[in-house]
Amino acid sequence: MVSPVLLIVIPLGLAFCVPLIGMVSKRFARFVPVVACLFNLVVSVQLLPAVLSKPIVVDLGGFGAPFSINLFVGPVGILFSLLIALAGFVVSLYALAYIDKGPTTRYHTLYLLLLVGATGVVLTGDVFNLFVFFEILCISSYVLVAYRGDKDGVESAVKYLIQGALGSALLLTGIGLLYGLFGTLNMAHIAVQAGSADPIPLFVAMALIVVGLGVEAAIFPLNAWLPDAHSSAPSSISAILSGIAIEVGLYAVVRMVFTVFGASSMLSFLMFLGVLTLLVGELCAFAQSNIKRMLAYSSIGQIGLIIFAIAIATSGSITGGFFQLVSHTLSKALLFLAAGYMIYRSGSMDISSLEGMGKRMPLTAFAFAVGAFSLVGLPPFAGFPSKLLIIRGALADGGALLALLVGLVLLGTVIEGAYFFRVIQTVFFKKGDGETARCEAPAIALVSMFVLVALIIVIGVYPSLIIGVLNSAASELLVRADYIGRVLG
């Protein structure tokens, strides 16, 4: 069987080959990310059945846990690595056509590094190793936000860098505290001892780590970097930042709270925070006239929904949260990719400048509509089963408080529907300012978009295709003892 280590090693190696290949031919260099992501996709799919029956633990360097760094490839890890490889693959296809100006080899190198960082974060079983991969992810995304080199991009990247660095500093401090408390950095090993530790230092460590990771996870009020960064990055990078980067941040928060600290008392607080994040995100998105900022705020709203779902912490709601995560990755990536070319053709990010795009680029506009419908949660698209599962999970509890929160979540959904449908009307039903020439996106970009369209519809109609993975992922989070037992033996 293939080793999960390859999921990190091969793309990492290829990332550094990109500049070398680029010296020979820039045209070849752009295919490297496609190949790397395809490789990861294939390996992840191959690992899937084995992982579902039993999580794979890889001890690096030959020492057993807790003495070595180990990878933990459980259902959650494989779910995320699949998602990263899939989104990475689709977006790298899109970038073949979309990234045609500027230092393209550097783009592809950093892009791959970003994905390596993301994959590393979700697979590692060691806190410090997580920090390292997290930094790889963040630093490459800082640079990629500024890829265009225009004033907006650089400004947003610097803002992102300052906040991200602050978050990383807090995270590192927290990890340091943990090491001081337990003398180990292995997640499972910390998890075993967390119950018997002095509660105050433990809480401070957890607060530092959660807040540090929360910056990347876009939890309110730590998410101020996001609208700037997501809107000024190139659209392919916005797709990855919204579809992958913040989800990975969210994964790290959830892994820490659920598995490492087992802090079930924090969950109701996280639930409120999720709903607050959702409402703030949706309300801000509603007030936007810039399409990419609107999508960025909508990502904040979606992350809030996922946090809410996972923090309810029943197996139904966590499954729903993960489902929402999958559908958000697919839909939001699709939305950014489609919006990318519409913006490119119209020359402005103003929603009003997209008038008449439904006629000028019908396929791209159609893809955008599918993404929007799915995100709003309309059948028969992928967002529908996920919203159904979340609401079902939340209402199954039967408490009045949860029912109230569900009401707020649904209110957020209405606002979301309103601003997305406003864009749909603008794109399809407003007459543009005379320009009617067809200007469809290039074929390769359309292929990448329609891969996502197909996935969104197939998952929306047959949710049972992925529900198995999601269920096991939910139980991995809920049953902490299994995780510990699997690593420490």
Partner 1 sequence: MSLELLMVVALGGSLLTYVLGRVSSRLRNGFAVLVSLALVAMVASLYGKALHVSYYEDFLGMSLVLRVSGLSWLFAMTASTLGCLSVVFSLSYMKGKERTSFYYSMLLLVNAAMLGVVLSGDLLSLFIFWEIMSWSTFLLISYNGGPALAAGMKYFVMSFVGSLAMLAGLLTVYGSFGTLEFGGVAAGMLSASPGYILAIFVLFGVAFGTKNAIWPFHAWLPPAHSEAPSPFSAILSGILIKMGVYGFLLIIFVLVGLRNFMALGADGLPLHTVLSIVGAITILFPTFMAIMQNDAKKLLAWSTVAQAGYIILGISFGTSLSVAGGVFHFVNHAVFKALLFMVVGTVEYRTKGVRDLDSLGGLIKKMPLTFAVALIGVCGLIGVPLTNGFVSKWLIYKTLILERSPFLALVALFGTWGTILYSYKFLHNIFLGQLPEKYKDLERAPMTMRLPMTVLSIVVVLFGVLPGIPLSVINSIDTSFGLKPLNVTLWGLASDTGALNTINILAAVFAGLLIVWLVLKSGGRKVSVDQADNYAAGAAIPKDKYQYSVGFYAPLTRMVAPYLKDFMDSFYMRLAGWVGGLGSGIRRIYTGYVGDYAMYIVLFLAALIFVQLTWSPW
* Interaction site with partner 1 (CB under 8 A): 158-159, 162-163, 166-167, 170, 199-200, 203-204, 207-208, 211, 215, 221-222, 224-225, 227, 263, 265-266, 269, 280, 283-288, 373, 378-380, 384-385, 387-389, 391-392, 395-396, 398, 406-407, 410, 413-415, 417-418, 421-422, 425, 428-431, 463-464, 467
Which of residues 94 and 160 has its CB atom nearest to partner 1 in the complex? 160
Quote the least distance from Cβ 213 to partner 1, whole Å. Answer: 12
What's the distance, CA 178 to chain centroid? Answer: 26
Quote the least distance from Cβ 321 to partner 1, whole Å. Answer: 14
- Measured CA to CA, the distance from residue 404 to residue 479 in angstroms comes to 28
Burial 154-169 (b: 16+ CB within 10 A, else e): eebbebbbebbeebbe
Which are the contacts of 467, defined by CB distance < 8 A and separation ≥ 6?
319, 323
Quote the least distance from Cβ 226 to partner 1, whole Å. Answer: 9
Which of residues 32 and 222 has its CB atom nearest to partner 1 in the complex? 222
Which of residues 35 and 424 has its CB atom nearest to partner 1 in the complex? 424
- Measured CA to CA, the distance from residue 377 to residue 385 in angstroms comes to 8
Which of residues 116 and 369 has its CB atom nearest to partner 1 in the complex? 369
Which of residues 91 and 285 has its CB atom nearest to partner 1 in the complex? 285
Question: Which of 431, 446, 292 lies closest to 359 in space, CA to CA?
Answer: 431
Residue 276: burial class (beta carbons within 10 Å; 0-12, 13-18, 19+): middle
- Measured CA to CA, the distance from residue 31 to residue 121 in angstroms comes to 25
Quote the least distance from Cβ 282 to partner 1, whole Å. Answer: 8
Which of residues 31 and 366 has its CB atom nearest to partner 1 in the complex? 366
Which of residues 329 and 374 has its CB atom nearest to partner 1 in the complex? 374
Residue 219: burial class (beta carbons within 10 Å; 0-12, 13-18, 19+): buried
- Measured CA to CA, the distance from residue 415 to residue 380 in angstroms comes to 20
Structure tokens at 31: 């295919």
Quote the least distance from Cβ 329 to partner 1, whole Å. Answer: 19
Which of residues 98 and 419 has its CB atom nearest to partner 1 in the complex? 419
- Measured CA to CA, the distance from residue 111 to residue 105 in angstroms comes to 10
Quote the least distance from Cβ 391 to partner 1, whole Å. Answer: 5
Quote the least distance from Cβ 303 to partner 1, whole Å. Answer: 16
Quote the least distance from Cβ 211 to partner 1, whole Å. Answer: 4
Tell me if residue 93 falls in helix, strand or coil: helix
